[in-house]
Amino acid sequence: MARITKETKAEVRKRLLETAAREFADHGLDGANVDRIAVTAGYAKGTIYNYFKSKLELFAEVLAVGCDQAVERYSSVPHTGSVRDCLVALAAADVAVIQEEERFFQVVVREAMSFRAETYPVIVEQLTPYVAIVEEVLARGVADGEIRTDRPTGQLALAFVGVLAVLYVQHWGSGGAWPTQEEIPEFAVTLFLEGAGARPASPKPRRRRTPTKEKSP
């Protein structure tokens, strides 16, 4: 078995990571069963330890892979157009990524909330790039007068990610009933930008105004 190496090994690793992602998604970090991962992936118990030092490291790797994919997607989102459009595009990219590995991201969110010394820093580290991209967009929005200026963009970026997360949670928690995955980007951005308050009299209360128009108050 020795000399095929490299490609094969990478494949096995990938398969283990995928299986692990599913296992973590289904059972959480603690509940995941290392043996089950190996066997499900079609290998023997011990094999997993040829690839990952421990369950926690495996989890971290799974997380890293997921986040890398997400960042890639995020980065390919066009940063032009109005802030609203950008945010919707980012949220849509987010939804697309998460849709692919829904259960896995449930675990990410869940573990993020555990605030455990072992996992929290890992997760935060992996999430940083997202927030940075969002913040960038918001900063542009501030310059354009589309974003309120009485709060630091860093806080607002976190808030946006948080709103997205909340909607996912409600999506998951409702068994997908509401909000549906398709609704999430629009609703998140609307909620984030406009809030739930009734708009004071204005011609087109919600929805898309062209960027140019917006610029001139």
Partner DNA sequence: CATGAATGAGAATTCATTCAT
Partner DNA sequence: AATGAATGAATTCTCATTCAT
Q: Give the interface with a second copy as residue ranges (CB under 8 A).
A: 2, 28, 30-31, 46, 84, 106, 109-110, 112-116, 120, 124, 138, 145-151, 155-156, 158-160, 162-163, 165-167, 169-170, 172-173, 178-179, 190-203, 205-206, 214, 217
Q: Shortest Cβ distance from residue 198 to a second copy (Å)?
A: 5
Torsion from C-alpha of 155, 156, 159, 161, nearest 10 degrees: -110
Toward a second copy, which CB reaches closer, 42 or 162? 162
**What does 81 bind: a second copy, DNA, none (CB cut-off 5 to 8 Å by kind)?**
none
The answer to whether residue 32 forms part of the interface with DNA (CB under 7 A) is yes
Residue from the set 50, 80, 155, 174 that interacts with DNA by CB under 7 A: 50
DSSP code string of 23-77: HHHHHHHHH--HHHHHHHHTS-GGGHHHH-SSHHHHHHHHHHHHHHHHHHHHHTS
CA angle 98, 206, 139 (to 5 degrees): 60
Toward a second copy, which CB reaches closer, 4 or 196? 196
Distance CA 191, CA 189 (A): 5
